[in-house]
Amino acid sequence: ESSPSFRQVPPMPINHQPAAAIMNALTQLARRSATITRSLPPPPPSSATLARSIHTTLPASSPDWHGTTIVCVRKNGRVCMMGDGMVSMGSVIVKPNAKKIRRIYPKTVGGERFTPPGNNNNKDDGDDTNTNNHENEGTIVGFAGTTADAFTLLERLEGKLDEYPGQLARSCVELAKGWRTDKYLRRLEASLLVADKNASFEITGNGDVLESHDGVLGVGSGSSFAIAAARAQMDNEGLSAEDVARKAMQIASEMCIYTNDNFTVESLAVEEEEKEDSEGGEEK
């Protein structure tokens, strides 16, 4: 038997013209789409991009810092702390006569906190000397910022003063350390001014404990105006610490829209100058 014979089919010639036509069509389509894309307006930014640009371009500010000006002046044997009474929420005045300055009294030997004569129900014998002595006792504290946060820090400071009696600097440093490191306290938005017979300090949430070099300290929205006005009057020997603080607060209330002229005042006698006066009297 003979094997079947197969007929060989010649290969078909390859025609490159359809492939070239397809490539040309694709190239023209790509050029046309690029031209249309360039002619269209840019797409609007997304919410995430807009929020990111706002946070990076606008300064960080909080409305809770508005509505307060506290100034502290040490001059001529007295330390005076004065603050306004305005409390605002946005553009609305909530309260015009808030008391933003407190006086903390030390604990007595029995563990109970000292109460000034004017706060108890018993009537005094009318001794002005005891009243003046009581007015020169304790530690003066003024606060700016959120009210609840400020009172929380005030209670913490009161505890530190009980733990380290007579050591205001150490108490302030310990409060600043806890304020900076504690995960709950670090969220508190407030600032404190603390003063006693020996020194005055500003405590912030950044862990700063600042003591003024010229006897003037201030916190709050109008503090820059009050500090500048107080420093300009420190060379006037005829003005007392309270006079300087009052004039400074008056100027701040006229320039800062979040500060009014309803002032609260607390003052103490400076201990160092009292000692110098007593030594001078003994020499005479």
> For residue 122, what pLDDT is reported?
47
Q: What are phi and psi of 213, to 5 degrees?
A: -90, -15
* Mean pLDDT (whole number) for 97-122: 66
> For residue 146, what pLDDT is reported?
81
More confident residue, 205 or 276: 205
- Measured CA to CA, the distance from residue 212 to residue 219 in angstroms comes to 12
- Measured CA to CA, the distance from residue 169 to residue 190 in angstroms comes to 19
The pTM (predicted TM-score) of the whole model is 0.66
- Measured CA to CA, the distance from residue 203 to residue 181 in angstroms comes to 14
Token pair listed for 249: 């607060």
Q: What are phi and psi of 215, to 5 degrees?
A: 85, 10
pLDDT single digits (tens) 83-93: 999 888 878 88
- Measured CA to CA, the distance from residue 249 to residue 69 in angstroms comes to 8
- Measured CA to CA, the distance from residue 281 to residue 191 in angstroms comes to 41
pLDDT single digits (tens) 130-139: 555 667 788 9
> For residue 109, what pLDDT is reported?
41
| Residues labelled as active-site residues | 68
Q: Residue 172: is its pLDDT beyond 90?
A: yes
Tokens 């002005």, residue located: 128
Q: Which residues pair with 220 in a beta bridge?
A: 69
- Measured CA to CA, the distance from residue 210 to residue 202 in angstroms comes to 5
